[in-house]
Structures are given as C-alpha cells and as structure tokens.
Amino acid sequence: MSICKAQLPVTDFSVYDSTVCPGTCTNFTNLSTNATSYHWTFAGGNPSTSTASDPQNICYNAPGIYSVTLIATNANGSDTLTINNFIRIYPFPPGLGVTVHGDTLFATQGFVHYQWYHNFVPVPGDTLLWHVAIPDGTHSPVATDSNGCEVEAVSFGGVLYPDFVPSDTEFCAGSCISFTNLSTPDTTQASHQWHFYGANPSVSLDNNPQNICYSTAGSFQVKLVMVSSLISRSDSFMVNVIPCTGISEVPASDLPFTISPNPFDDLVTLHFKERQNAKCVLEIFNSIGEKLLEKKIISEGLSLDLSAHTRYLFCKCEDRKRNFYREDCEIK
C-alpha cells in the first residue's frame, strides 16, 4: 500500500526592474511551482492587484519603497510570499525651468543630460543647456537627473504676432536704415532678437533698431524672432542694396541748385541758388549710373515729371565751369 503526500504550492517571483523613476512601469515574473492560481498585491502600484501569472506594466507614480505579495494556490492549499522593500521609486526630479534671452532658450542647470525638441520631435545632436528658438514652433527641453529620471519643461506661451517695417527697402551700398517694430504683444513684453544678414551690426536686441548699415550690394533677409515661454514666431523681409557706382556725391551745401519736393510723387522742380551765366545741361541717372534723361535748361530752373522712373535718381548739372553731382531724388 502506497501513500501519496499532497503537494502544496511553493511561491517565488522576480521583477524586471526593482528601482525605477516615478511614473515608470515594470514587469513581474512568476517563479512559483505546483500552483494553479495566483493573487498579487502591489503596494503603491497601479493596478494594485492582479491574478495574472506574470503581471505586466505595473506602474508606480509616487516616490517611496514598496512591498509585493504573491499568494500561489492549488487544490491542496496555498503559499504566501511577501517581499518588503522590494520596489524602490526614485524621488521626483527637480523642476525644469527655461529662461529666454533674445531668441535663445536656457534650461535650468544641474541635470546630467538635455535633449531639445522642436514641435515635439527630438532635434538630433541638440543636447546642450541652451537652444536657439529657430525655426518657428514649440521648443521644449527634456532633462535627465543623476538617477536617470526625466523631466520636461511646460510651456505657458501666449500668441505672438511679430511684425515690422524698414525705413527703406531699396538703397545704395554704404547706407544705413532703421526699423520700426509693430509686433503684438510689444517686444518689451516678450523676448525678441533681430537678425540682419549682410549688415553691421548683424543682430540686435533693441525694440526699434537704428543705424543698420549695409556695405555690400545684394538682397538680404531681415528677421525678427519673438519668443514667449517655449513658443517662437518670426517675421522676415528682404531689403535690396544697390551698387550705386559711376556718380560722385558732394555735400548739399556745396551745390548750386536744390531739388524739391524731395521725396517726391511725380513733379519735381530744380532751383538754382544763384543765377547762372550760361545754359546748363541736366542729366538724370538711376541708381546704377544709367542715364534716363538729358535736357538743356535756362538758369532760372525747370519742372519735370519723374513719376515713371525708378525709386532713386541722381541729378547732374553741368555748365562750362564745373560739374555738380547729387543723390537728390527719392520717390515717396
């Protein structure tokens, strides 16, 4: 006669990762034998219980140290295993703030790693403490602390409408222009930075930049970038710098004539400061030295319709004794 001893369950388990960051989930592996059913209890976890053999995605949201209990059961009875201090959840990372200077964002110092995102897509290689908020969009950093836990900056940015006008859009090389800021909100309430490509200075933090000078001819972009919290918006404009060659220029006080009105819409009148002793030949050139008009005039003066000509005109008056040159005519 043989007697069979009833076999009771033997409970055992392991966890994939016992030390994790807040908000992280982990998985459990059941190592029990002789069992047909299971009941898990996860202190501090979500979900807090499970009847699965190998529970997956048990999440811990609050820092702390937690126990896990597994009861394994069969027809002959059950076995219980509780492991105290089994799961450790790291403290929350410190808050991640962002400061703005011009168009550049600076994340809070003290983290071991940074990754910047543009419109929620990671920017390859952009892992420095600072980040230039170009192109337009949302620029957000994710920082990692010494425990390997991540924290993301939160945006509270408002609506931005950058806008501006230059004092001139077409002018001679060697000229300086200024800019009027029309942005909403005013850039005194939102960080901003100007970019003047091909100019000196090339950048500015002024609200209404003055004396932006262009020494080289060409078409150049002007960009105004506004940043509020993690949001950037920009406005851009092209200015045309003309190679004004072939015509010399003397001070207006040395000229024997004036041109008025200046700037003009259509009609312009040339006036002599003193009566001339001979006829004068008036020649009008465009900004690149091409002659547009030539006319002999009497010394008292002449009225002309220049509405069909280009924006900047140069007037040359020549008599028997000397030549006079002046950049004098500008269309309104």
Q: Is residue 275 part of a domain?
A: yes
Q: What local confidence, expressed as pLDDT, does residue 155 receive?
A: 76
The number of helices, as runs of H, and strands, as runs of E, in the chain is 0, 33
Residues 190, 134 share a domain: no
Q: Is residue 290 part of a domain?
A: yes
Q: How far apart are CA 311 and CA 237, in angstroms?
A: 18
Q: Is residue 111 part of a domain?
A: yes
Q: How far apart are CA 316 and CA 149, in angstroms?
A: 74
Instruction: Enter the DSSP assignment of 7.
Output: P
Residues 107, 66 share a domain: no
Q: For 63-80, give the DSSP string.
A: -EEEEEEEEEEETTEEEE
Range of weakest confidence among 16-25, 26-35, 58-67, 292-301: 292-301
Residues 138, 191 share a domain: no
Residues 80, 24 share a domain: yes
Domain count, the chain: 4
Residues 173, 142 share a domain: no
* Residue at which a domain ends, from 57, 89, 121: 89
* Residue at which a domain ends, from 55, 89, 123: 89
Mean pLDDT confidence for 86-94: 97
- Pairing status of strand 312-318 against strand 98-101: unpaired
Q: What local confidence, expressed as pLDDT, does residue 293 receive?
A: 72
Range of weakest confidence among 108-122, 171-185, 186-200, 276-290: 276-290
Q: How far apart are CA 26 and CA 61, in angstroms?
A: 12
Residues 111, 85 share a domain: no
Domain range for 324 is 252-330
What single letter denotes the amino acid at residue 238? M
Q: Is residue 7 part of a domain?
A: no
How far is CA 199 from each of CA 173, 221, 264, 270, rounded to the nearest angstrom? Answer: 10, 10, 28, 35
For the segment 2-11, what is each residue's pLDDT rounded down to a tens digit? 555 679 999 9
How far is CA 70 from each of CA 10, 25, 58, 100, rounded to the nearest angstrom? Answer: 11, 18, 14, 52
Question: Greater confidence, 111 or 297?
Answer: 111
Q: Is residue 286 part of a domain?
A: yes
Q: Largest Cα–Cα distance in the chain?
A: 151
SS3 for 109?
Answer: coil
Q: Is residue 2 part of a domain?
A: no
Q: How far apart are CA 15 and CA 310, in angstroms?
A: 80
Q: Is residue 60 part of a domain?
A: yes
Q: What is the pTM of this model?
A: 0.67
CATH number of the domain where residue 324 is located: 2.60.40.3080
Q: Is residue 158 part of a domain?
A: no
Instruction: Enter the DSSP assignment of 161.
Output: B
* Residue at which a domain ends, from 242, 268, 301: 242
Q: How far apart are CA 271 and CA 176, in angstroms?
A: 28
Question: Greater confidence, 104 or 326?
Answer: 104
Strand-by-strand arrangement of the 280-285 sheet: 291-297, 280-285, 312-318, 323-330
How far is CA 212 from each of CA 239, 278, 287, rounded to the nearest angstrom? Answer: 12, 43, 20
Residues 120, 76 share a domain: no
CATH number of the domain where residue 227 is located: 2.60.40.10
Contacts of 255 (CB under 8 A, 6+ apart): 273, 324, 326
How far is CA 37 from each of CA 30, 52, 57, 167, rounded to the nearest angstrom? Answer: 11, 8, 20, 82
pLDDT at 330 over 70: no
The mean of the pLDDT values for the chain is 84
